[in-house]
Amino acid sequence: MDEVIKELIKRFEHTYSQRDNWDTHYQELSDYMLPRKSNIVKKRSKGEKLMELIYDGTALQAVDLLSASLHGMLTSGASPWFHLDVKDVDLNRDDDVREWLQDTSMRMIRAFNQSNFETEIHETYTDLSVFGTACVFIEMDGTNLRFSTRHISEFYVTEDQFGMVDTVYRKYNSSASQAVKRFGIENVGDFIAKTFEKKPEEEVEILHVVTPNENRDASKVDNQNMMFSSIYICYKSKMVISNSGFEEMPYAVPRFLKSTGEVMGRSPAMVALPDVKMLNLMSKTIIQAAQKTIDPPLQVPDDGFLLPVRTNPSGLNFYRAGSRDRIEPLNTGSNINIGLAMEEQRRQAIRSAFYVDQLLVGGSPNMTATEVVQRQEERMRVIGPVLGRLMNEMLRPLIDRVFGLMLRADMLAPAPEILQGRDIDIEYVSPLARAQKSSSLNNTMKALEILLPLAESLPVGDHIDPDGLVRHITDSLGVPKTTLKSQREVDETRQQRAVLEQEMMERQQINEDVSNIAQGAQAVRMVTK
């Protein structure tokens, strides 16, 4: 174990040494765009002023808009944003499977909504917008899910051969009392135990390492043989205070954008930083120019004035009659309008870097449905690739982790036997997913507009599956599956309708037969008479 710990610490220190340039960059980004998290390189005191470098709030507003938009487009709590599915189409039509998938999806959505997910995921989106990399930890607290967004200065990551984060180091400070409460006095070692006895609130450094368990024995079911190993180390004494594991990666580490050869992500804030710094400098200069215009400096003759210059309202200053020696404002020659125009250019550049133009797609109330679809498609072309990465690196790991936690906690209904050994897929039904599907739906509706007039002369109906068409339209529009009948219920309704129609036909036939008999009898009577 000692050799393993030495190797882990060696790997961590190497990863740590690669972050110097990044941390300097993060500090500058947070100073100008996220001041509440500006304790990366600078060690700030609690309650210290954090806005001393900011003279214009455009960047702060753009960060808030982008993070709120990502939240609303991907994981809005107002409506379900994912649904479990299976890749096998025939299996997906099985009523028992569909009911279990629907029930499981709703239970997971309810668990997300009842946790602190909404609060923490917004912090994650904010970190993504500013730093380009975020980290959220998912765990189970009793019967409730618990999400924790980690500060950019705490976590360090490495990738596997496929470019996916597979190892997370988290070096953080914890009070000795918190460490003892979490790990137990018998496990924390002498250093933390002594610190706890003398100064319980003094902070100690703890290193948490989550990495693939290469020595796993799949035949054993215990915390030492899980998919990922989890090791807590007292960084001062280099002693293991906890050794366990996870079945899924508990950290989700999304990157907004990523450059080749880099592990950490790139953000819109990095693109906007030069304009943000320039805008703040310009705003400071324009404020000074405005002050000079409103309260200008004065020019006073160099002699002959013994009394103080009174610049207060109604102040009296005397000058020699018949001379030009008088107090006058100094003309600095400043042109504030030029500065204001240049400021607006910088503001527009900042908004563009944060996709404000795409996120706030305007339109008139008289826009046609086609124009609305075109606007949505334009927005998806610009921001779609970024959101695709977030789905892959954040949403899928989150859902996989929550599914595993709830399954082991017996919070899900037993799955049908037919699903044993089958892969479960994730279908996103967020506003973003619906917007992406709108193009397909639009094409479907155009096809129907063309084909329906031809149905009188061509066998168009032979090529269309009505049930499949209904499913496609409702899925594209994000109609909740709870509002739709299962295929079994649809079949039963059709059978009942067929029985009723058969009974009506039989009754009608009987009535016709009775009528014919009555008419025949009438004819016989007429002939008899």
Q: Give the pLDDT confidence of 133-166 residue by residue, as tens digits.
A: 999 999 998 889 999 999 999 999 999 888 899 9
Q: Is the pLDDT of residue 308 over 60?
A: yes
Model confidence band, residue 297 (pLDDT cutoffs 50, 70, 90):
confident
Number of domains comprising the chain:
2
- Answer yes or no: do 427 and 494 share one domain: no
**Percent share of the chain, pLDDT over 90:** 40
User: Which of 148, 149, 145, 169 has its CA nearest to residue 157?
Assistant: 169
pLDDT, average across residues 88-102: 81
| 505 in any annotated domain | yes
Q: Tell me, yes or no, if the pTM score tops 0.85.
A: no
- Identify the bridge partners of residue 167 per DSSP, sorted by sequence position: 158
List the helix and strand counts (H, then E) for the chain: 16, 12
Q: Give the tens place of pLDDT for each residue, 345-384.
A: 999 999 999 988 877 765 556 666 666 666 666 667 777 7
Tokens 């090791």 -> residue: 231
Q: 461 Cβ partners below 8 Å, 6+ apart?
A: 455
The answer to whether residue 481 scores a pLDDT higher than 70 is no
Q: Are residues 494 and 380 in the same domain?
A: no
Residues 6+ apart with CB under 8 A from 211: 8, 166, 167, 168, 228, 229
pLDDT of residue 366: 65
Domain co-membership, 421 together with 282: yes
Lowest-confidence region among 238-247, 391-400, 495-504 = 495-504
Out of 93-102, 313-322, 502-511, which region has the weakest mean confidence (pLDDT)?
A: 313-322
Is 368 part of a structural domain of the chain? yes
CA–CA separation, 49 and 336 (whole Å):
29
Judge whether 250 lies within some domain: no
Same domain, 510 and 380: no
User: What is the Cβ-side half-sphere exposure of residue 255, based on CA atoms within 13 angstroms?
Assistant: 16
pLDDT tier at 255 (50, 70, 90 boundaries)?
Answer: very high
Phi, psi of 207, deg, nearest 5: -110, 125
Specify whether 455 is located in the same domain as 511: no
Same domain, 480 and 495: no
Residues 356 and 419 in one domain: yes
Query: What does the pLDDT read at residue 181?
Result: 92
Q: Are residues 433 and 495 in the same domain?
A: no
Nearest-Å Rg of the Cα atoms of the chain is 35
Residue 34 pLDDT grade (very low, low, confident, very high; cuts 50, 70, 90):
very high
Spatial CA neighbour of 133 closest among 119, 116, 151, 159: 151
Domain that holds residue 357: 55-113+271-299+332-386+415-484
Tokens coding 105: 């999806």
Do residues 295 and 340 both lie within one domain? Answer: yes
**Alpha-carbon distances of 226 from 8, 211, 232, 245, 411, rounded to whole Å:** 18, 11, 16, 6, 21
What is residue 1's predicted lDDT score, i.e. its pLDDT?
58
Residue 148 lies in a domain: no
